[in-house]
């Protein structure tokens, strides 16, 4: 483990939406119901082929972490296609090398990880990722593990809020941050242990698209405006997310911190991720792309 306390700068790798899927023939017939059946048919139609080389690409991310001396890894969800237990297990086995030490890996579930409305869908994600869900300020928890706060060295904090929930209807894939979590977010940002740090706020859903507009109602973060309003007090930090399979960074009027979407690290033709460096509470972000065998700078 790098000695973060004494380091002048912190290096962060942010990736998302790897969408590990099992082959359709491995799915038990009992699984073919409700939303999952529609998801499965979409996969059969050809979406799955865009994620054919997931394992190879994640292996490249593991190499990148070493080569780039990464101190902290952030994943903003959508590990799977259908939220099946087998997919979560497989995805976890791929990313496990990135989860050491566990206190230097931060994550939230994506909507695909809790795909159908089942009593245990959140539990299944937590079960797989429990080793990296430790919370340095658990007194702010307002449901499950969230918000989750990690204090990193002396100068950086990560606050993870959960915006994913099971969607009862197949044509809907919208998200919402529960109001209790938004209230807790404000309290966390005002906490003396957090407020003078550089703060990464992470969630799955995109509060804004690459053009600065809100996402479509049935696909977006329903309470994006309320979320961004709460983020306005933040002077040094960044808001990180995925869900949109496009890698982008935007600034917004009234916000001191950038909005950064990791896109999908593995979707063929769209692969992207970010490497950040935080030094004296200043962020430098470097967009990376896939060149067929490795992730390289998108703007050399």
Residue 78 interacts with Fe ion (CB under 5 A): yes or no: yes
The residue range among 24-32, 48-56, 110-118, 143-151 that interacts with Fe ion, by the rule CB under 5 A, is 110-118
Residue 107 interacts with Fe ion (CB under 5 A): yes or no: no
Distance CA 251, CA 165 (A): 27
The residue range among 35-43, 77-85, 88-96, 117-125 that interacts with Fe ion, by the rule CB under 5 A, is 77-85
Distance CA 80, CA 147 (A): 22
Residues near Fe ion (CB under 5 A), total: 5
Q: In angstroms, what is the minimal distance from the CB of 27 to Fe ion?
A: 19
Out of 57, 150, 208, 243, point to the residue binding Fe ion (CB under 5 A). Answer: 243
> Which two tokens mark 185?
């977010």
- The nearer residue to Fe ion, 17 or 215, going by C-beta atoms, is 17
> Which two tokens mark 48?
């799955």
Residue found under tokens 């017939």: 29
Distance CA 176, CA 224 (A): 8
Q: What does residue 151 show for φ and ψ, rounded to 5 degrees?
A: -95, 125
Distance CA 290, CA 282 (A): 26
Q: In angstroms, what is the minimal distance from the CB of 264 to Fe ion?
A: 6
Out of 75, 76, 80, 111, point to the residue binding Fe ion (CB under 5 A). Answer: 111
Q: In angstroms, what is the minimal distance from the CB of 62 to Fe ion?
A: 21
- In 10 A of CB 203, how many CB atoms? 29
Residue 113 interacts with Fe ion (CB under 5 A): yes or no: no
Per DSSP, the three-state class of 211 is coil
Q: In angstroms, what is the minimal distance from the CB of 272 to Fe ion?
A: 13
> Which two tokens mark 220?
């977006």
- The nearer residue to Fe ion, 78 or 215, going by C-beta atoms, is 78
Q: In angstroms, what is the minimal distance from the CB of 192 to Fe ion?
A: 34
Q: In angstroms, what is the minimal distance from the CB of 72 to Fe ion?
A: 22
Q: In angstroms, what is the minimal distance from the CB of 243 to Fe ion?
A: 4
In the stretch 7-46, what mask flags binding to Fe ion with x, by CB under 5 A? ----------x-----------------------------
Distance CA 168, CA 122 (A): 15
Q: In angstroms, what is the minimal distance from the CB of 195 to Fe ion?
A: 30
- The nearer residue to Fe ion, 153 or 178, going by C-beta atoms, is 178
The residue range among 67-75, 126-134, 193-201, 243-251 that interacts with Fe ion, by the rule CB under 5 A, is 243-251
Per DSSP, the three-state class of 24 is helix
Out of 109, 110, 237, 263, point to the residue binding Fe ion (CB under 5 A). Answer: 110
Q: List the one residue out of 199, 102, 103, 106 whose CA is nearest residue 157.
A: 199
Q: List the one residue out of 229, 194, 215, 222 whose CA is nearest residue 261.
A: 215
DSSP one-letter code for 44 = H
Distance CA 203, CA 226 (A): 14
Q: Write out the E strands in 76-113.
A: 105-107
The residue range among 7-15, 105-113, 117-125, 152-160 that interacts with Fe ion, by the rule CB under 5 A, is 105-113
Contacts with Fe ion by CB under 5 A lie at 17, 78, 110-111, 243
């Amino acid at each position: 483990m790098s000695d973060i306390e004494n380091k002048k700068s912190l290096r962060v790798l942010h990736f998302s939406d790897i969408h590990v899927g099992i082959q359709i023939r491995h799915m038990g017939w009992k699984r073919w119901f409700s939303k999952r059946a529609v998801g499965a048919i979409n996969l059969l139609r050809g979406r799955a082929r865009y994620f054919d080389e997931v394992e190879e690409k994640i292996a490249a991310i593991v190499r990148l972490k070493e080569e780039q001396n990464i101190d902290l890894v952030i994943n903003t969800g959508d590990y799977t296609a259908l939220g099946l237990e087998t997919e979560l297990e497989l995805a976890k086995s791929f990313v496990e090398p990135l989860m050491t030490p566990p206190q230097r890996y931060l994550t939230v579930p994506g909507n695909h990880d809790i795909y159908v409305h089942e009593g245990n869908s959140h539990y299944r994600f937590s079960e797989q990722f429990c080793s990296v869900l430790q919370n340095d300020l658990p007194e702010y928890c307002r449901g499950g593990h969230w918000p989750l706060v990690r204090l990193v060295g002396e100068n950086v904090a990560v606050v993870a809020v959960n915006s994913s929930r099971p969607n009862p209807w197949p044509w809907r894939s919208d998200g919402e941050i529960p109001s209790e979590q938004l209230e807790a977010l404000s309290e966390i940002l005002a906490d003396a242990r957090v407020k003078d740090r550089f703060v990464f706020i992470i969630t799955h859903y995109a509060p804004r698209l690459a053009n600065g507009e809100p996402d479509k109602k049935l696909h977006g973060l329903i309470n994006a405006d309320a979320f961004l309003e709460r983020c306005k007090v933040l002077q040094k930090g960044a808001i990180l997310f995925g869900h949109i399979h496009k890698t982008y960074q935007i600034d917004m009027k009234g916000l001191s911190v950038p909005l950064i979407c990791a896109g999908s690290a593995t979707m063929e033709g769209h692969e992207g991720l970010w490497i950040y460096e935080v030094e004296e509470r200043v962020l430098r972000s470097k967009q990376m792309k896939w060149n067929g065998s490795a992730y390289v700078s998108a703007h050399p």
